[in-house]
Amino acid sequence: MLSNWERSPYAPPVLFISKRTISLTKKLYRLEPPVRFVSKRIISLGVKAVDRYVPDSILLLFMNTIDKSVPPEVIDGVISGLDVLPPKLRSSMITAAITAADRYVPDTAASSRKVSAVIAGIYKYVPDRIIPPESVEEWSNVKTKFHIPTLLSRGKSRSRKE
């Protein structure tokens, strides 16, 4: 027999299986531990491989290549390209990426000096203004976890010809 709460329109969604009521959030929660386990194993294996086999000189070359060969206009264009997307889509994409980085990337990746340097080198170009308000706390956790510096306001970039 359903209670008054379960009949109300504000009741959480439920799935009826053989006269048992299982909350969908509980069902999704059952999937979360395997996802965490797999992500922890795969990412940890990748981190170990990078720490062991990739020399610092290759990482330094990679970071310098990104900083020197990618013009500021391209970075500004990618960021302003996000503004073209519908606000709900943009917000959900950014929120999903931040949540995945916050929840599913294990601490072994964050404690790896080489991996954190690469992630910080790429994410330092993400300005705080494009982060949705509902993800500010998780973005702060990700920035702290991977030691991502805050991008200072560059204003409009000038072309190199001027």
9: helix, strand or coil? coil
pLDDT at residue number 29: 53
Tens of pLDDT, residues 1-39: 555 544 555 545 544 444 555 554 455 556 566 767 777
Higher pLDDT, 150 or 51: 51
Name 15's bridge partners.
22
What confidence score (pLDDT) does residue 158 get?
47
Residue-wise pLDDT for 94-127, tens only, equals 888 888 888 878 777 888 888 888 888 878 888 8
What are the sequence ranges of the domains in the chain?
5-146
Q: CA 31, CA 1: separation in Å to the nearest integer?
A: 28
Q: Where are the alpha helices (DSSP H) in the chain?
A: 4-7, 24-53, 56-69, 72-82, 87-104, 107-111, 113-123, 136-146
Give residue 116's Cα distance to chain centre: 13
pTM (whole model) above 0.75: no
pLDDT, residue 161, reads 45
